Structure 1
Amino acid sequence: MQPVVGVDVAKGSSVVQAFTRRNEPYGKLESISHGDSGFERLGELLAELQARMAIAPVVILEATGHYHRGLVAYLERSGWTHFIVNPLQSKRAKGTQLRKVKTDAADAWHLADMYYRGDVLPHRTWDETFTELQHVTRQHEFVTGMFVQAKLNARALLEQVFPAYEEIFYALFSVTSLSVLERCLEGDDGDLVETIQACAGKSRSRRWVDEKARRLREILLDWRAQPRSQSQTVALSGMVSLLLSFTEQLSDLEKQMNELAFDLPEVELVKSIPGIGDKLAAAIVAEVGDVGQFEGAKQLVAYAGLDPGIFSSGKFTATSSRITKRGSKRLRRSLYLAVQCGIRGSTNKRIREYYDKKRKEGKPYKVVVIACANKLLHHVYAILSKKQPYRN
């Protein structure tokens, strides 16, 4: 029987237990650090086990956020066979035991036992470009969320500190508007024309720039004469600097996203679907990865967590059920947004027709949008598997 090493991954370290065969541990339980010395010790243990059993051992570990990635990178570099177990599957398998035990040692033992029972299947693997794109799109989503919260806070402060400024620029949170506001709050408003022209560039005429500068001078005279909270002024200045920093970060992330997407033909294929632009296409492809890993569209739908849960017991069968939500929440969110873009203005005629049909049947809005997301994901699977663009 093949030797197995069960690894319970934690932050900064992992608990390792080797087995020569089922329920026969080899050596003592060890804790290794996620560094060169720890990985070197793991390599020594694996080599020792291979020499003793005359067969390469298999490493079983659980996906644990980002903590397992350093260990997985070492195993891939060293050429050791490893399997990454879905935490949901691991937790369900533990539920078959009568005793309730939760320790690192028990988890490492349990992971190895799952392999011996035949419950472990090969994990998803894909090209490094997909992984890099996934990192960038997820970071973009994270920074965008903070950017939105920062804008809400900045607007609330602006309404209390400098309410008249909102009438100057239509795009209040554009780089031009934020840069000018930053100069005004700092009291450095000597040459507003040059400041506005430098930020706006050639996109605006000289007449537009002069008009903005004139209106700014007028409201600044009244603003300086009025009493205001110094602490709120400082807070607003800090939020403006933060917004400019977020804008720059998002610009850099979008540039990286476009560079990575250029090397992936799948992004262009997904973009051929009406209602899906650069960012949504990149996010969908990053979360789906290599579509060849899915046996069919239904498996991809299950991976996205858009498949309905089934509940039946005896003579009872549930007539209505919610989606499982056990897959990638980022993929679900991207598809939800893509459907909203597609039905708005009938951009995607097929999805719009399907949406209208379900609404006429009396289905609630969110139920219909989720059904459309399911259908859209079938379209995504079809164009990626056939490598052909979307056709109306």
Structure 2
Amino acid sequence: MKELKILGRQYSHYVRIKIQSKIALTNIIDRTMPGIKKLLQGKRSNNPVKDKLADFIKEYWHYDNITKKSECSFISSYCQWAKKKGYHASEAKAREIYAMAKAGIPTLSSSAASTKMLVLESIRVLGEVNQTLQTILTQMQMIASNLKEYEVVHSMSGVGDVLAPRLIAEIGDVKRFHSGSALIAYAGLDSPPYESGNFIGNKRSISKRGSSLLRKTGYEVMKCLKTTKPVNDAGVYQYMLKKESEGKPKKVAKIAALNKFLRIYYARVMEVHRN
């Protein structure tokens, strides 16, 4: 558990680096290929190391490298590149890119020696961070899969190969909590009392005194539930929808559902350890 938690913390550290790297890459390509991100950034690949936008920029890196070709030549070049990299070779997409390149006005010149270096270095750094994240996650999955509770946690709606080891890493040994409420307090999802001394709470927020990383991981689970819309879950997704129908803001509804999710998590994992 200790090793898993250290890996989990390092994973979160590199996620922050990845976000910073993507911001840096966005800033530079907005100067060399404005608008290209919107055209090429589609659904997330099942392979976390694979990135169509990054691969495309690595190949062309500036609109000048596109516009110096004829439209037919670029379409042919794009389709060959897409097939080689394992992406859909769409001639319509190639035409869109060519039209955008023709209309685009880069603010960094392709003739400047530093331009290509800055673009390619941004791509390289992002690629290495993605590879590091995948390496850490693979190690976490290997360790977590040997724990008694792994299959139970992995099977919960909204939790899969990525989130299961991260959840287990942050929660740790569930037997150290005397109840589901204690786990919720550890996550910082508990609310202060209505009255305490001279304090009377009309509007109460979560305490946020616990593990911020567990709250973030749990929130990702709630977002997955919202995306996948599971039919046969433990009532967490339906509870979230119920809170939204009551007029609660979507974020508040997710936090309420996460509270319920952690209670279910505690009960199921404790049952595994009792058997």
> TM-score, normalized by length of structure 1?
0.53
Q: Which residue of 2 aligns with 1:371?
A: 256
Query: What does the per-residue CA deviation read over 1:117-147, in whole Å, with 9 as the maximum and x for residues that have no partner?
Result: xxxxxxxxxxxxx111112222222212221
**SS at structure 1 position matched to 2:162:** helix
8 Å contact kept, 2:189–2:259:
yes
Quick one: which amino acid aligns to residue 54 of structure 2? L
Q: Which residue of 2 aligns with 1:337?
A: 220
Q: Which residue of 1 aligns with 2:72?
A: none
Q: CA RMSD in A?
A: 3.9
Q: Which residue of 2 aligns with 1:297?
A: 180
Q: 229, 237, 245: which is aligned to 1:360? A: 245
Q: Which has the higher helix share?
A: 2
Aligned counterparts of 1:360 and 1:165: Cα–Cα separation in 2: 38
Quick one: which amino acid aligns to residue 306 of structure 1? L
- How much has 1:286 moved relative to structure 2? 0.7
Alignment of 1:1-392 (within 5 A): 130-163=1-34, 169=40, 174-175=50-51, 178-179=54-55, 181-185=57-61, 196=81, 200=85, 203=86, 208=89, 228=109, 230=112, 231-310=114-193, 312-313=195-196, 317-347=200-230, 348=233, 350-387=235-272
8 Å contact kept, 1:336–1:373:
yes
8 Å contact kept, 2:219–2:258:
yes
Query: What does the per-residue CA deviation read over 1:371-391, in whole Å, with 9 as the maximum and x for residues that have no partner?
Result: 111111000001100119xxx
Quick one: which amino acid aligns to residue 109 of structure 2? R
Q: 1:320 to 1:152 in 2, by over 3 A?
A: same
Aligned counterparts of 2:53 and 2:35: Cα–Cα separation in 1: 13
- How much has 1:319 moved relative to structure 2? 3.4
**SS at structure 2 position matched to 1:326:** coil
**SS at structure 2 position matched to 1:377:** helix
**SS at structure 2 position matched to 1:353:** helix
- How much has 1:312 moved relative to structure 2? 2.6
- How much has 1:244 moved relative to structure 2? 1.6
Answer 1 or 2: higher relative contact order, Cα 8 Å, separation at least 6: 2
Aligned counterparts of 2:83 and 2:249: Cα–Cα separation in 1: 50
8 Å contact kept, 2:152–2:268:
yes
* Structure (1 or 2) with the larger CA radius of gyration: 1
Aligned counterparts of 2:269 and 2:194: Cα–Cα separation in 1: 32
8 Å contact kept, 2:140–2:165:
yes
Count of equivalent residues: 251
- How much has 1:304 moved relative to structure 2? 1.2
Quick one: which amino acid aligns to residue 144 of structure 1? V
Aligned counterparts of 2:198 and 2:36: Cα–Cα separation in 1: 67
**SS at structure 2 position matched to 1:278:** coil
Aligned counterparts of 1:168 and 1:311: Cα–Cα separation in 2: 50
Q: Which residue of 1 aligns with 2:74?
A: none
Q: 1:266 to 1:196 in 2, by over 3 A?
A: farther
- How much has 1:308 moved relative to structure 2? 0.8
Q: 1:385 to 1:235 in 2, by over 3 A?
A: same
Q: 1:368 to 1:232 in 2, by over 3 A?
A: same
> TM-score, normalized by length of structure 2?
0.73
Query: What does the per-residue CA deviation read over 1:213-266, in whole Å, with 9 as the maximum and x for residues that have no partner?
Result: 99999999999xx98162443322221111121122122122212211221232
**SS at structure 2 position matched to 1:240:** helix
Query: What does the per-residue CA deviation read over 1:275-295, in whole Å, with 9 as the maximum and x for residues that have no partner?
Result: 112222111111111111111
Aligned counterparts of 2:4 and 2:83: Cα–Cα separation in 1: 33
**SS at structure 1 position matched to 2:131:** helix
Quick one: which amino acid aligns to residue 307 of structure 1? D
- How much has 1:297 moved relative to structure 2? 0.9
| Identical-pair percentage | 27
